[in-house]
Structure 1
């Protein structure tokens, strides 16, 4: 059994911890600058004779936020609210001045896609992969602690954000202002957040790319499966908000959740996607086919229209848009249907396609088949029409009626060009 003096000491420590949480609540609710909060808590902890690690500071702030969320009375009527309109850097994909979370399994292409976009933005392009680029060229800071320098260079050179010199060395190019990598990492300690805030404050409207969440909190003693692990991100985004910076956070998907909706695909605590205004998920179009490099992009956002895109990386940091997932699925279906056509059906379909291609959209009637494929139909219009109907039922061709002078209403056929 514990001695009375030990119990008393434990109770004193517990009360001291509660007081620190109360102080954290006060700091948050009174909008004390983010950068000052950790230092104030440490000083108060010293007065309580309690040493605080970075993990402890983040845990106390996380507990304070939970307490605040439990007592918030909500917005009241007839009170003006400051609500800004949603703005985009990359239409419906990357939001401006708010957190965008990009999730995928490793090696799908998160950093490569972001690098390609940043290259297009920096070169003055107004569109990329079929989506409007609405933002203008601005400073870029990459906290890329998840990848070695060599991997980043392979992304940055094609994007125009780095170049190899005559001596074989590599230099970073404006507007890329800073790069941290696996060899020179930056983790989201209080000091690092203060450093990033200082950069953002002196360089407003910048873009900050963070790769990836697990690497950023590495060494802080935080478990990415627990909500408290998100506190450094909260602290960071809150600090950057005043500078109008745009944070883009890369995060790994959970193997069991890959292919789920963007919010659920995120690995670890679901408190992380809750912090983001926009979430993008990248996934292989056909995961079981290791030779198929097509990637789907789906989105979930508070104010965005859901995105359905299929893209492919044809070279490092060089992507092409292949259409929507539904369009790709339909094309795959049509390919499988076509593989099962009999000789007559294939002959007629090829005739329609070649006729359409050579004559700029020229349609075909059953009589055209009889006149042009004489050996196949031997003057039998019924057989020709039956074959056309079979192809239309398989959605390989379409038909409509048109009035012809002297002939009346006739049915014309044309290929499905998907």
Structure 2
């Protein structure tokens, strides 16, 4: 693996930790000072909407700037805004300050919407095709580990150091990320100046999402899976733990930790089997989907907490093998110049579908038994797998000789 990949890994790791800590800090600060759960939850809503808007502008930005430059601009702007947030937190709370705080939060999330598509599109530019599975598994495992670490220690940091110092730690983490990005070296992209108009540039990613012969199938599978994917948000898992398993919040924490532990284990497993996965990407995408769907269906009917915990841990490797194989398949199936546009459009669709799913799943949990919601999600995932089988394998048996360049 190239040195530039490890610089990207350090940058992503620092950013993930920073974003987790900053999210927890702002949510707890607003709740503690206002005692309003509505205002605290508005942090997530503002972040998601702003990321959607930011992500939709990525193709235009990619038309003018290199991927590394986009990441640097994004993080420099975020760093400046974090500094303003420190000042806002030190100011006596007032309605004006909360309005300013939400504006700053929205701006950070807007520029964060540039980061993920650009970072993921940068991977093939600094990693050889043969090492893509290794790279994706390392990045994914590290990301899951840091999310587990961040949410575990974030509260402790805020309690003992306070909100202002927590944001200062966030600023230090972003500085580390920036330094890593400066050291990273990526191949220069082709000159894209004035190549296409703005409208055509914006349309390119969406056309690839819906028209590309293989990636359109992947995107439709994702949409089906994401529609039931919100069963793992905190509120729904809490209801399942209490109503289906008959346990308290302590087991809610166990289930959440088991989920992250399973994904970390899965990332390590895929890394060890990277050569095999790289040779059979479509097979492992479908294996992961089918495996998770079966486990979710079983999970929906269990009553023993320990069995539920084991099932969640077992889902982790299957989720990871599907996601890592899918990421590699996408990176191999599309030109590097178009990858960022596709990822930006795909991320926008995924966020919209997931947001809609959160609402619908929430309504279903209130209207019907929570076990049914998990069963419904498992069946959706199974349907996605069957759809993928006929579209990616059966339909394309005729291109099996050609597929060696993709699989």
TM tier, smaller:
under 0.3
Task: Select the structure with the greater relative contact order (CA < 8 A; seq sep ≥ 6).
Answer: 2
Q: Which has the higher strand share?
A: 1
Q: Which has the higher helix share?
A: 2
TM-score of the superposed pair, with normalisation by structure 1:
0.23
